[in-house]
Chain A
Amino acid sequence: MRSSGVGRWSGPLSERKRRGCPDQRECRRQPPCAPVWQAALAGLVRVLSCAGFLLVAGALAAAPPARLTLWQGFKFSEVPMLRRNVDEFVAEYRQRTGREVVIEIGQVPFSDMVKRLKSAALARQMPDMAIIDANSMVQLAFGGVALPLDTLPNFPAASIDELRARYVPGAFDTNVITFKGERHLYGLPAQTTTLALFWNKGMFRAKAKELREAGLDPERAPRDWDEVVRYGKVLTEPSKNLYGFGMNNSFWFSMPFYNQYGVEIVRRNEAGLLEAAFRGPRAEAAVNRRVGLYREHGIEGGAWREGALDPDQGFLNQRYAMILVGPWQIENFRSSGLDFGVALVPRVPLAEAKALGLVPPDADENSTAVHALSASNIGGQNIMVSTSSKHPDIALEFALHFTSEKVQRAWAEELGQIPILLAAQQNLKLDKFPEVPVFIEQINLAKPLPALPYGGVLETEIVNPEMNLVLQGRQTAAQALERICAQIERRVLKPVNDAEMAARAEIRAKTPSGN
């Protein structure tokens, strides 16, 4: 009986002394009391313990580091900063947990990132993390490629909304996706961007006298769309190919109009299914405002037409005095010696906003409600963790590190990026990037595109062609919106709603009856 034997042979020396064994030889004949056996056994146990400890420690020390891959499509000028962030995280993680982590960075052409991720998912060669276009997030979430971060044990907040309070709301919302009746957070904003108004100071000064005569200040940008028209009429000279404003016909670039006019593209009905909502007086007013700059007032240079100078190039070549563009062009414009300023996107004129019920009837020019009318759109990139990652917890920690205040401050102060963390927007040293504060103000008023899959179809195959016809004067805003809604229902929402219904049926089938 091994167990009783062990019991007999065990017992500390002090115990045997207490029991009284003066004769050592006697003790040797009686193993349970023999000190030599005791000592040998104790030594053996110690040696084995030490060996075990060393083995475990050795195994831990020799354990291969956790390897993670990160795919990104940043500009070359941004990659060194990303590497620095990775190195900082690895060192900090090692210090905190004693565990080695290796994060390998893979460069992917930005425009091919989603395509690349889809083929990698097919090949089961997904990276652990990817930094992707904010508006493509929904495709990857619906495709089951992006992991819901709020399901991870180390999710750093009690709820999605608690975490949301720390970030730029519009940028954060591009990661919050409802699918199969469940609302989850599929990523964190990594870089955010938005449109603001760029105005050519030189072109304004060249027409300073005429602007003053029209009661306008040549040293500032227009604040609302009526002012844009007034400035534009002075600045436009079609005979010289000079126009007050230039804008392309992209859905994403037109979002500031829709956001300012409080237009919903889709909404959930009482049954929780999506339906098209891109219609009604506000939507028509938004379209007419945008189209009217070209058709009614003639101040927009037709930058949306095939073969025309696009807004960026037109602004760079001093053909368009004002355009809506993001911070990515600042460096380009500055390098070319252009004298330009950046201002908030002009907002809905106060009288029109009151008539449409966008602001309270008693709101004045300085009220918060009116300020919020300058809503722009949301772009940028999100960091997602893939469902196939072997270390999703570490990936989430890296994502949190990347969006931490320290990192976001560095990206803002050294590279002129807009911080996505609200805490990092305070007290920044932005001497090198004087335009960034305007973008920070603008981003906090921005709203994202609706979280729908088939975003490409929505933009390039549904909205843009219909709006093109409105710009050409071949249909009215109301007609275009009706046709857009019909196509959204059929081509975008039907598959989403069908999937939603199927998922609900599946859940119902799994739920025991009576519950």
Chain B
Amino acid sequence: MRPLPPKAMLARYAVLLPVLVLVQLPLVWMIVTALKAPGYGLVLRFIPGPGETWFEDATGAAKNMYTLGNFRNVLFDADFPFWRFATNSALVAGGCALMTVALCATAGYGFAKKQFPGRDRLFALLIAAMLVPGLIYMVPQYAIVLKFGWINTWAAMIVPHTANIFGLFLLRQHIRSLPDSLIEAAKVDGAHEISIFGRVILPLSVPVMVTLFLLTFVGQWSNFLWQLIVNTPDSKLITLPVGLSYFQGQYSVQWERMMAGACFSIIPVAVLFLVAQRFFIAGLTAGSVKE
């Protein structure tokens, strides 16, 4: 690709810079609030005024506007088991994402490459179910979980979210775009169904599966309401979003601590995206061009 002339480059950055600021503002605001001393979270000043210092000084004569104490409190407060919450969130999000990918890949292969009576109608029915808002399913799902005696269990936290129609659609569309000749060639070579799926379809679907994994992981990492209701308060399986909401009191919110917790909570997701971004972009564009 030819490099752009300097003026065009300048114009491009002039457009992109405000967009960048707009996109990054919430993130920066979160970090700044997390760094503010208690009481300053909602103060719309960022530079210390008279009688204030930036950080704690040894004399303690002036009020410090910023502190690292919120991060320390979140990580090491005995009443806020951050590490347990984070581990639970990782297990729920990871487990759910893995199971979703496994289910959607097999189902997607079936819907894309297998012939069975009513296939397209069943698929259309499943797609139509996406029109129903997810919250509608909450009560029946809760009733089922209750019936199974799954309250306060990993099963309740993970299993109901593994049936992901969007994921099925994503993988079905991708697998459909794979040439049938590949499958036929594998069959000529003597491959049976499991081999075809494992050695032909899956390797070619890695970017889409990674994308689905990431999307599911992010969705479940930040899932609040479901994880709140399937765990009683004495449960050891409380997740991070539920834990962070403990900073919300009856009339007031400890914004500084809550934002410090939120800063930590985005780290795993950010790392995952950084590691898997090339798959993610490839996965989103995969299937966009039909054979």
Interface of A with B (CB < 8 Å)?
Answer: 69, 71, 73-76, 79-80, 104, 106-112, 115-116, 119-120, 122-123, 125, 127, 133, 193, 312-313, 316-317, 326, 328-329, 331-337, 379-381
Contacts and interface: CB of A to CB of B under 8 A. Distances in A.
A16 to B, nearest CB: 65
A379 B251 CA distance: 9
A357 B266 CA distance: 60
Nearest to B62: A337
A335 B228 CA distance: 32
B39 A335 contact: yes
Among A106, A119, A125, A331: residue with most chain B CB under 10 A: A119
Contact of B233 (A71, A75, A379): A71
A339 B254 CA distance: 21
Nearest to B77: A76
Contact of A123 (B80, B146, B249): B146
Interface string B29-60: 00000000111101111000001100000000
A502 to B, nearest CB: 25
Contacts of B249: 73-75, 110, 328
A115 B248 contact: no
B195 interface: no
Nearest to A125: B232
Chain B contact residues (Cβ within 8 angstroms of A): what range?
20 to 34
B41 to A, nearest CB: 8
B88 to A, nearest CB: 15
B246 interface: yes
B63 interface: yes
A145 to B, nearest CB: 15
B228 A379 contact: no
A104 B234 contact: yes
B229 A116 contact: yes
B221 to A, nearest CB: 18
Contacts of B232: 106, 120, 125, 127
Contact of A122 (B37, B40, B142): B142
Contacts of B248: 109-111
A110 B228 CA distance: 12
A337 B142 contact: no
A107 B249 CA distance: 11
17 contacts: A74-B249, A79-B79, A108-B233, A115-B229, A116-B228, A119-B142, A122-B146, A123-B151, A193-B251, A317-B44, A328-B249, A328-B250, A329-B252, A337-B39, A337-B52, A337-B63, A380-B250
A486 B184 CA distance: 72
A69 B245 CA distance: 21
B158 interface: no
Nearest to B38: A335
Interface in B6-49: 37-40, 42-45
A222 B200 CA distance: 80
Contacts of A329: 251-252
B247 interface: yes
Contacts of B52: 337
A80 B43 CA distance: 29
Contact of A335 (B40, B45, B245, B246): B40
A74 to B, nearest CB: 8
Interface string B137-148: 000001100100
Contacts of B142: 119, 122
Given A79-B79, A110-B249, A326-B251, A312 B42 contact: yes
A11 B186 CA distance: 101
A328 B251 contact: yes
B42 A313 contact: yes
B43 A336 contact: yes
Contact of A106 (B37, B40, B80, B233): B233
Nearest to A337: B63
A80 B39 contact: no
Given A76-B80, A335-B37, 11 more contacts: A69-B234, A76-B77, A76-B247, A115-B229, A116-B233, A120-B232, A125-B232, A127-B233, A336-B43, A379-B251, A381-B250
Contacts of B228: 109, 112, 115-116
A333 B251 contact: no
Nearest to B63: A337
A326 B252 CA distance: 10
